[in-house]
Amino acid sequence: MQHVKIPQDRIGVLIGEGGETMREIEERAEVRLDIDSETGSVKVEKVGDPITGLKGPEIVKAIGRGFKPEDALMLLDDDMVMLDVIDISAATRNRNELKRQKGRLIGENGRTRELMEDLTGASVVIYGTTLATIGGPEQVDAVREAAEMILDGAPHGTVYSYLERRHNEMKHKGMEYHQFSG
């Protein structure tokens, strides 16, 4: 059994209309969810296949980090699909800097976040103090590297060039290119 804490404003998304999302997660990930809507604490208990059950806490965490349930459930589609979370606040000294860094990661009209998705094929969400990614190892690595470049102050043009290069490398390798963003 594992405990996952999610923000209270994400509990409704986790439960879904009439408990629909919760039931789908329980069924597909072979887990039982016990949600404490007061604290945001979610107990995840494996009830079926232990390997499939390992993805249960990750799915809950992904929804807690701002992903739509259907994107979080992609973690079940392939063993290589993973969730990666970067704590933006760890790279900032105060609230104003956090706000500025989040703005840089999102970009004007969401352009930077969108390019991260489009050029890597991963799904990227910036929520609260985190940037979270769902994708294969190469995709997650490319997003993480781009985000770290931005947090380290690299100009957006440099980051976009890096993402283009990684995009071409992934295509050139003939890697199976999944588009995870919805």
Q: What is the pTM of this model?
A: 0.92
- For residues 90 and 43, membership in a common domain is answered with no
Cβ-based neighbours of 160, under 8 Å, separated by 6 or more: 115
- For residues 58 and 136, membership in a common domain is answered with no
Domain with 57 in it: what CATH number?
3.30.1370.10
CA-CA-CA-CA dihedral for 81, 82, 83, 86, to nearest 10: -120
Range of the domain at 67: 2-75
- For residues 59 and 107, membership in a common domain is answered with no
Distance CA(138)–CA(29), nearest Å, equals 24
Q: Is residue 178, in this structure, part of any structural domain at all?
A: no
Asked whether the beta carbons of 33 and 46 are under 8 A apart, the reply is no
Binned at pLDDT 50, 70 and 90, residue 46 comes out as very high
Q: Which tens digits make up the pLDDT trace of 14-30?
A: 999 999 999 999 999 99
Q: Given 32, 54, 75, which residue is the final one in a domain?
A: 75
Q: Given 75, 107, 138, which residue is the final one in a domain?
A: 75
Q: Is residue 45, in this structure, part of any structural domain at all?
A: yes
Q: Which tens digits make up the pLDDT trace of 71-95?
A: 999 999 988 999 999 999 998 999 9
Q: Given 36, 59, 75, which residue is the final one in a domain?
A: 75
- For residues 130 and 87, membership in a common domain is answered with yes
What's the whole-number average pLDDT of the chain? Answer: 94
